[in-house]
Amino acid sequence: MTTVATEVPGFLDLAIQFGLIVASGVTLLVGYRVIQGPTTPDRVVALDTIGTNVVAIAVLFALATGRGLFVTVSLVLAIIGFISTIAVARYVTEGDIIE
């Protein structure tokens, strides 16, 4: 399967740590919009953002630990997030997902 380089240079390690912190912080901030969001589309967009952030966190974690299995995790999460976005968009615009 995927082999990721096990020895990362120092600046890349720092960048990965910074990216993990930023992505996690943004995910927490978006959680406020999920709970508080006045309308349903607000919550939908916020949940979609959380999904994208979890994909980013999985890729960064794969880079940091050198374990390729998290790349597979992020790939599957990205596919399912894409399809759920389309399904919710159809539900919001037409009120019916499958005709």
Partner 1 sequence: MSDGIQRETTVVAKTVTRIVVPLILVTAIALLLQGHNLPGGGFIAGVLTATAFALTYIIYGLDYIQTELLDRGVDVPDGVPTALARESGTVFGIGLAIAAGGGIAAMVLGYPFLTQAVAFLEHLPVYHELEVASAFVFDLGVYFVVVGGLLTILSVVGAE
Residues 34, 47: Cα–Cα separation, whole Å: 7
Task: Check residue 28 for interaction with partner 1 (CB under 8 A).
Answer: no
With CB under 8 A, what is the number of residues at the site for partner 1? Answer: 17
C-alpha–C-alpha distance, residues 89 and 18, integer Å? 33
For 50-78, the DSSP string reads HHHHHHHHHHHHHHHHT-THHHHHHHHHH
Q: Interface mask (CB under 8 A) for partner 1, residues 34-73, using x and -?
A: -----------------------------------x--xx
Per CB under 8 A, residues contacting partner 1 are 1, 69, 72-73, 75-76, 79-80, 82-83, 86-87, 90, 94, 97-99
